[in-house]
Amino acid sequence: MSRFAICAIGLSMLAGSAMGQLSVFGGNTTGAPTFNRPVVGLNQLSTVGVANPFVVVPFAVSQNSTYAFTLLAAPSDPQNPTSPPSFDTFLLIYSNFIPASPLTNAIAANDDAPAPLSPNSRIPAVALQANTIYYAVVTGFAPTDFGQFVLLGDHAPDFTGSVPRSAARASTRRLRS
């Protein structure tokens, strides 16, 4: 496990998540397809977050419950996992994600989590139903915010992979604590 992943798990625990099991998905938004992201209130599109690179991470949960998600950017200094994040993250959860219609089916969003995670993102509680596919959309605050990331889900959501525009499934990295 990389120092970045270990640091990501540690920071998530600092954020107060009561995790029995933890799922981890790592990826990179550099060069990814783009979309115009919503604002945190999910009621309009951002005037800053236009043409933002994004990665879609489909997932499912095994029971009806409330789940928490934390999105961490890679450290700005790869040799120092505690250095500031390399970009300002933005996390969204959808019941069905349509890049051309980013306000449709949006369930939750977060720009900046409270300290010590800011400017990373954290959705502390979202109610999800078992046997349903959801989509975590990883992006940045602005089009210039992109790079490597780790997405953490408490209570072990099943991250099934990244779905690029072509809908081809990419491999995933899933860890359980």
* pLDDT of 82: 83
Distance CA 92, CA 139 (A): 8
Report residues of the chain scoring pLDDT below 70: 1-21, 156, 160-177
Q: Which residues of 47-68 are buried (b: 16+ CB within 10 A; e: fewer)?
A: eebeebbbbbbbbebeeeeebb
For the domain covering 3-43+50-159, report its CATH number.
Answer: 2.60.120.380
* pLDDT of 24: 86
Nearest Cα residue to 89 out of 60, 116, 54: 54
* pLDDT of 154: 83
* pLDDT of 19: 45
CB 109 within 8 Å of CB 94: no
* pLDDT of 156: 66
pTM, two decimals, is: 0.80
* pLDDT of 14: 42
* pLDDT of 16: 45
